[in-house]
Amino acid sequence: MAEPKADVLVLGAGMVGVSAALHLQKLGRDVILVDRREYAGEETSYGNAGVIECASVFPYMFPRDVSQIVQYALNRSPAVRYRMSDLADFLPWILRYYLASSPDKAKQSAMSVLPLIRQSLIEHEALIAEAGVPELLRRSGWLKLFRSERSLANAARDAERAGQFGVPSEVLDAKSIAAREPHLTGDFAGAVHFPTPGFIADPGALAKAYAALFFRKGGRFVVADARTLTQEGGGWRVNGASAREVVVALGPWSDLVFRPLGYSFPLGVKRGYHLHLKANGNAVLNHPVLDSDLGYLIAPMNQGIRLCTGAEFARRDAPPRPTQVEQALPRARMLFPLGEAVEAKPWMGARPCLPDMLPVIGQAPRHPGLWFDFGHQHHGLTLGPVSGRLLAEMMTGTTPFADPRPFATGRFG
């Protein structure tokens, strides 16, 4: 059988890669999607909180609060853990992350990604309608709970600041929390409800639905190792397929391709874990709920209540060590009536992050036909379709809907 050829190879069948393939297809490109797994959405795109964060104006930057930094350094924060044995590997990246999180640079990152954040739910809505899976999208928004008056006051100020950019929110007292989530228990100072973000009850299923749409429209899929990528005869080839252009959308594994080609983007990872649990009795959770002061989130997924941890700084491929799940589980049981676990062990994934918390979207400077679309930090689900649109417009010479310069490949020198 002859090896399949196309206009574009997209390496990586997660939310980012599938979305890029769909938008390239929509603009007339013949696309082959390439992944090491047989199905889309099996890696990082499967395990997240399910929130399409169109209200998240400000990226997840390194904190400037001294007490919080001390907690991180002493490994006492439930939201962040690190492995001492891996410290030498990720400490240089942490330093770059800290420097990129100064107030001025954090604001610059926020303003750069704002056009994509504002368009994120709109792009998802269009693809969800076309894919025929409206049942996967819920319009509940999400809740951030706070147990101290200080953290609530800080959150209220942040919400007010986000409101200046058109993000609606409501500060709730204990009575209002109970009205929205009657099965939560605890001593809360208050909460902030963000009503506009969408919630996906099965993120992995959404990636698969988008991939199915891509196939129905004539797209092709090849199981192959992206590390076999070579430049041949004015085009690009992996074992099993070739094309004139290639998009690297491999999330936390993108370095396996860009480093051999001579690029040195400062790509780091924040690992995370989740565990699905049954709800006891007739208990119902209506929103994703972040227990902000205790550093975990619960979300009402189709598979059960998903308990999500904060960030773990460790080598991407180090063995799992779900300490944060073990710490969060008894706290979550006190918040919501959780029953037995659905899975035998927690799932682990890795969030691909650049120090400025902006993705790399654009053309490689030294290799014609090579494009990048990775590094979406905590917002791969949110930004997948909108960054796919931006990339496809750049690749086809269409006027981009947003300024692509903040995401340029050359911004790290």
Residue-level pLDDT at 93: 94
Residue 132 resides in a domain? no
The tens digit of pLDDT for each residue in 290-307 reads 999 999 999 999 999 999
The tens digit of pLDDT for each residue in 82-126 reads 988 888 988 999 999 999 999 999 999 999 999 999 999 999 999
Residue 63 resides in a domain? no
Residue-level pLDDT at 182: 97
Taking the C-alpha atoms of residue 151 and residue 381, their distance in angstroms, rounded to an integer, is 27
Taking the C-alpha atoms of residue 350 and residue 371, their distance in angstroms, rounded to an integer, is 22
Taking the C-alpha atoms of residue 61 and residue 57, their distance in angstroms, rounded to an integer, is 12
Q: What is the pTM of this model?
A: 0.95
Taking the C-alpha atoms of residue 120 and residue 380, their distance in angstroms, rounded to an integer, is 11
Tokens of 79: 């939201």
When pLDDT is cut at 50, 70 and 90, the band that residue 1 belongs to is: low
Residue 379 resides in a domain? yes
When pLDDT is averaged across residues 299-328 and rounded to a whole number, the result is 95
Residue 378 resides in a domain? yes
DSSP E strand stretches across 280-398:
289-291, 296-301, 304-309, 311-313, 338-341, 347-353, 360-363, 370-374
The tens digit of pLDDT for each residue in 10-31 reads 999 999 999 999 999 999 999 9
Residue 381 resides in a domain? yes
The 10 Å Cβ neighbour count of residue 411 is: 14
Residue 305 resides in a domain? no
The answer, yes or no, to whether residue 176 has pLDDT greater than 90, is: yes
**Backbone torsion region of residue 12, taken as left when φ is above 0, otherwise alpha when ψ lies between -120 and 50, otherwise beta:** left
Taking the C-alpha atoms of residue 357 and residue 387, their distance in angstroms, rounded to an integer, is 14
- Of residues 412 and 259, more confidently modeled: 259
The answer, yes or no, to whether residue 413 has pLDDT greater than 80, is: no
Half-sphere exposure of 136 (CA within 13 A, CB side): 22
When pLDDT is averaged across residues 361-365 and rounded to a whole number, the result is 97
Residue-level pLDDT at 57: 84
When pLDDT is averaged across residues 152-176 and rounded to a whole number, the result is 93
Number of independent structural domains in the chain: 1
- What domain range is 228 assigned to? 5-47+204-266+355-412
Supply the CATH number for residue 40's domain: 3.50.50.60
CB 115 within 8 A of CB 166: no
How confident is the prediction for the chain on average, in pLDDT? 95
Residue 43 resides in a domain? yes
The answer, yes or no, to whether residue 225 has pLDDT greater than 70, is: yes
Sign of the dihedral through C-alpha 343, 344, 345, 350: negative
Residue 402 resides in a domain? yes
Dihedral of the CA atoms 235, 237, 241, 247 (nearest 10)?
A: -80
Tokens of 112: 């750069």
The answer, yes or no, to whether residue 2 has pLDDT greater than 80, is: no
**Residues contacting residue 147 through CB under 8 Å, at least 6 positions apart:** 186, 187, 188, 189, 291, 292, 293, 294
CB 355 within 8 A of CB 270: no
